[in-house]
Chain A
Amino acid sequence: MLLATLGLAVGLMAGPARAEEGTIKIAAPAAFTGSAAGYGDNIKAGVSMKVDEINAAGGINGKKLEVVFFDDQCEPREAATVSTSIINDPEIVGIVGHLCSSAHLAGLPAYVREGIPAITPTATSVAISDKNKDEDGKVWSFRNVYRDDFQGKFLADYIDKVMGLKKVAVFYENNDYGIGLKTAFVQEAKKLGLTVVGEEAYKKGDQDYTPQLTKLKAAAPQALFVAGYYQEGALIADQAVKLGLDVPKFGADGFDNADYIKLGGKATDDTYLTAPFLAETAGPAAQKFIEAFKVRYKRDLDWMSANAYDATGLLAQAIAKVGPDRAKIRAYLAGLTTPEKGYKGITGNNYFDASGDCLKPAFVKVVKDGKFVPAAKQMQ
Chain B
Amino acid sequence: LRFRKARASPVSEPALFEQQLVNGFTLGLIYALIAVGYTMVYGVIELINFAHGEIYMLGAFLTMSFVSMGLPLPVAVLVAVVATAGIGVLLDIVAYRPLREAPRLAALITAIGMSIFLQNLAMIIWGSRPLPFPKQVLPAFFDQPALTFTSVTISWMQLSIYAVAILLMIGLNLIITKTRVGTAMRALAQNRTAAALMGVSVNRVISFTFAVGSAMGAVAGIMVSVYYNTMYPTMGYLAGVKAFAAAVLGGIGSVPGAMLGGVVLGIAETLGAGYISSPYRDGVAYAVMICVIIFRPSGFLGRSMVEKA
Contacts and interface: CB of A to CB of B under 8 A. Distances in A.
Interface of A: 32-35, 37-38, 41, 174, 200-203, 205-208, 210-212, 214-215, 217-220, 231, 234-235, 238-239, 242-247, 259, 262-265
Interface stretch (B6-14, B33-41, B249-257): B6-14
Interface string B232-254: 10110011000000000000000
B212 to A, nearest CB: 25
Interface in B3-59: 3, 6-11, 16, 19-20, 23-24, 26-27
Contacts, number: 113
A234 B232 CA distance: 13
A243 B158 CA distance: 12
A356 B282 CA distance: 37
A342 to B, nearest CB: 34
A174 B278 CA distance: 9
Q: Most chain-B CB neighbours within 10 Å: which of A212, A217, A218?
A: A218
A264 B232 CA distance: 14
Contacts of B130: 35, 38, 231, 259, 263
A202 B278 contact: yes
Those 5 A-B pairs whose CB atoms lie nearest each other, nearest first: A244-B3, A37-B128, A211-B273, A201-B279, A210-B23
Contacts of B153: 244
Interface residues of B, number: 45
Contacts of B123: 33, 37
A37 B129 contact: yes
B282 A203 contact: yes
Contact of B228 (A41, A200, A208): A208
DSSP majority for the B interface?
A: helix
A237 to B, nearest CB: 10
8 contacts: A35-B130, A201-B281, A208-B23, A211-B273, A211-B274, A214-B274, A238-B228, A263-B132
Contacts of B234: 34-35, 205
Contacts of A264: 229
Q: Most chain-A CB neighbours within 10 Å: which of B9, B19, B131?
A: B19
Given A37-B128, A263-B130, A246 B3 contact: yes
A188 B7 CA distance: 26
B128 A219 contact: no
Contacts of A247: 7
Nearest to A198: B278
Contact of B10 (A208, A220, A231, A259): A220
Nearest to A210: B23
A220 B9 contact: yes
Given A218-B10, A246-B3, A203 B232 contact: no
A257 to B, nearest CB: 9
A207 B23 contact: no
B298 interface: no
Given A217-B11, A218-B11, A259-B129, A201 B6 contact: no
A220 B7 contact: yes
Given A220-B10, A234-B230, 18 more contacts: A32-B128, A33-B128, A34-B234, A205-B234, A208-B23, A208-B228, A211-B274, A217-B7, A220-B8, A231-B130, A231-B230, A238-B229, A259-B129, A262-B132, A263-B130, A263-B229, A263-B230, A264-B229
A255 to B, nearest CB: 14
A234 B135 CA distance: 14
Contact of A212 (B16, B19, B273): B273
B228 A235 contact: yes
B224 interface: yes
Contact of A211 (B11, B23, B120, B135): B23
Contacts of B281: 201-203, 211
Contact of A38 (B129, B143, B155): B129
A219 B12 CA distance: 10
B28 to A, nearest CB: 11
Interface in B208-232: 224, 228-230, 232
B178 to A, nearest CB: 34
A38 B278 contact: no
Given A218-B11, A238-B229, A244 B155 contact: no
Contacts of A200: 273, 278
Contacts of A243: 19
A206 B16 CA distance: 21
A198 to B, nearest CB: 10
B128 A34 contact: yes
A207 B223 CA distance: 12
Given A217-B11, A218-B10, A263-B132, A207 B228 contact: yes
B278 A211 contact: yes
A283 to B, nearest CB: 30
Nearest to A174: B279
A245 B7 contact: yes
B16 A214 contact: yes
Given A37-B129, A214-B20, A235-B229, A208 B7 contact: no
A144 B182 CA distance: 63
A211 B279 CA distance: 12
B36 to A, nearest CB: 19
A235 B227 CA distance: 10
B115 interface: no
Contacts of B120: 33
Nearest to B280: A201
A21 B270 CA distance: 58
A265 B3 CA distance: 19
A207 B224 contact: yes
Contacts of A244: 2-3, 6-7, 153
